[in-house]
Chain A
Amino acid sequence: MTTSTIERLQHVFRDQFEDDAISITRDTTAADIEEWDSVLHIRLILAIEEAFGIRFSTTEVGDLTSVGDLVDRIDAHL
């Protein structure tokens, strides 16, 4: 069984926010995680790209606000 996108994403989140207790759902947004500011957002995007071996376009990045958006865009690239 392969790991689902959201599970892999959770791993990236925990790594980036240095918090192993973080649990994400499709509805999670920046408002739910205190450290998720604009600086970390970019870092998160870059880390996701590296982890999944993909690259979002400028247009896509502008639309990525929730975990659900991220999962959908990642899956579209895979």
Chain B
Amino acid sequence: MTSSLFWLPEPPKDYKARIGAVGKADAASFDGALTALGQYRLSDRDAARLCRAVAESGIAPSFPAKSLFVLSDSTTDYLPHNLTAAGYRYGVALDVAAAPFGQVQLALASSRTAIGSTDIVLVALTHFSFAADASLAALDDVALAKATEDLSSLVDDCLAAGAKSVMVQTVPLPVGGRFGSIDRRTPGSERWFLNRLNENILELAGRPGVMVADIDALASEIGLGNWHDARGRGLAKLPFDSRYLPDYADRIARLVGASAGRSRKLLVLDLDNTIWGGVIGDDGIDGIRLGPDDALGEAYLAVQRAALALRDRGVVLAVCSKNDAATVREAFDTHPYMVLKQDHFVEIRANWDDKAENIVHICEALNFGLDAAVFLDDNPAERERVRESLPGVAVLEFPAEPAVIADTLRCCGYFETTSVTREDKERAGMYAADAERAQALSVSRSADDFLRGLGMAFQIDDVLDDRFAQLLNKTNQFNLTLKRLAAGEIDDLQRSADTIVVGGKLRDKFGEQGKITAVVARIEGDLGHIENWTMSCRVLGRGVERAVLNVLVDRARDRGVRTLVGRYVPGPRNALVEDHYRNLGFQDAGDGTWHLSVEAFTPLEHFIDMVR
């Protein structure tokens, strides 16, 4: 059986042995081992072996576990292991069960108990559910409305039975037709009916808890003549040609992974012979092949456009290449046909270091796990090196034909998403700004120079809005007491005469950070008890807390406070601020509190413009 998952490498010769070894992996390395084993073009047999080895190992991956129940009008016996194995590719542990195939409404009725406890019900229909009799009326607009309504109530029934979500697939069109070219515009033809039904199915995805797997699109990519298997339909009620079980499973699993938040977020690109033709160190900027002048140049233009299209929808781009950094940067700035520019990348790591180490650095700088990264490189040795040393990273197979490298980026399932938000589109830019700041830090002579160079401005903003409440209630790391405020308490702060609040926004030369800190103190006689002090970790190490303390002391003095009293309450994730008060010059009172004399206080130095 061959599939068209060309962006995955063929399993290596020793794949069986590697599967055997998974049972011997310890729990800590199990996830990585399993992710790595999933990153191949697995045949039906490979998938079955992998699933059995995992079951026999007795270890459960720490991936999100999802139960999936299949309602289908076709044979489902060959699905479960293919789906589960593809799930490992996308970081989910799929537990698949299926109703005996048949009319799906009946299957639902007989499977209510099973559906009630399932995470996802997959409604897998084929055109055989809409088999027409000879009359055109069997597939006319009345029939279409009824089919749509039936499907819609099937979805409702699944959700009402307790399923957490429903995944409906679009229906691949059959081969051939009744009239020829007019089929598509003639009510009563299968082509007319199924195209419209698919539109209606896609609209279902707007409902809460409903996803649509576009299997019609998959079948079209594969080619309907390949996809359908009339013999298999007759022999065993197969839904499609079994060669494409791995493709089908991949489409479903990537969507499940995306719905579980497991989609990858970062594309790391090599440069020479990957996003342009030739070796820039040898051929020079003018010598690389990129642009409309020849077929090879066109192929690489398409690669760059495909990468940019991913960036436009929120995938973060980085470069990891064995090259001279200055040459590379000059190429991005000056080559006339370069589609990708320096500022499209959060990191350009052009050096002679080990690529696996470079990728680790890139992920760390972005605070991403390695399982967020996808790597594209033409050099098989580099791919192998990254596969071996960083099993969490998805390493794309690199096609021998340059003209289809772009398709590799367009077809791989790692960046699947269930919806597109405006934030997705802007995300890559936000990370780019973060990376620029990090870069500014690394080139600065000292931390003070760096902070001065950031051009920071702090605008005091004491409005007790939702963001202020969110800072107090949702911050886990820079949070001194972990004291959460109930909804009403925020309003009380507003009215109370004996509280001091400080909040504020930060901006710097790279952009706005929004409101990033919230401090609340309660006055008791001449003491100012700091109830809590929170700050967004995005602005850690900028001296914001020093600037905020200056403001807090001023306000405390105005209100007759002589001593500020702070407390640190340790929690699971706030060790970061253990020494917060010590660092700000508070004295340890020995009773778990920290004291600061308002009279003796000299304002702390910082590099932030204070704006009122």
Contacts and interface: CB of A to CB of B under 8 A. Distances in A.
> Are A and B genuine complex partners?
yes
Most buried by B among A16, A38, A43: A43
A61 interface: yes
Interface in A34-71: 38-39, 42-43, 45-47, 50, 57-58, 61
The dominant DSSP class at the A interface is helix
A18 B77 contact: no
Nearest to A55: B231
Interface stretch (B202-210, B232-240, B252-260): B232-240
Interface residues on B, range: 10 to 19
A4 to B, nearest CB: 23
B235 A39 contact: no
Contacts of B77: 39
B235 A50 contact: no
B45 A15 contact: yes
Contact of B236 (A15, A42, A47): A42
Interface of A: 15-16, 18, 38-39, 42-43, 45-47, 50, 57-58, 61
Interface in B187-225: none
Nearest to A62: B235
Given A18-B49, A46-B1, A58 B234 contact: yes
Contacts of A42: 232, 235-236, 238
Contacts of A15: 45
A46 B242 contact: yes
Most buried by B among A39, A43, A46, A50: A46
Nearest to A43: B78
9 contacts: A16-B45, A42-B235, A42-B238, A43-B242, A45-B235, A47-B45, A58-B231, A58-B234, A58-B235
A38 B77 CA distance: 11
A61 B75 CA distance: 18
Contacts of B232: 42
Nearest to B242: A46
Interface in B228-250: 231-232, 234-236, 238, 242
Contacts of B231: 57-58, 61
A38 B231 CA distance: 15
Contacts of B44: 43
A45 B234 CA distance: 14
A57 to B, nearest CB: 8
Contacts of A43: 44, 78, 242
B354 to A, nearest CB: 39
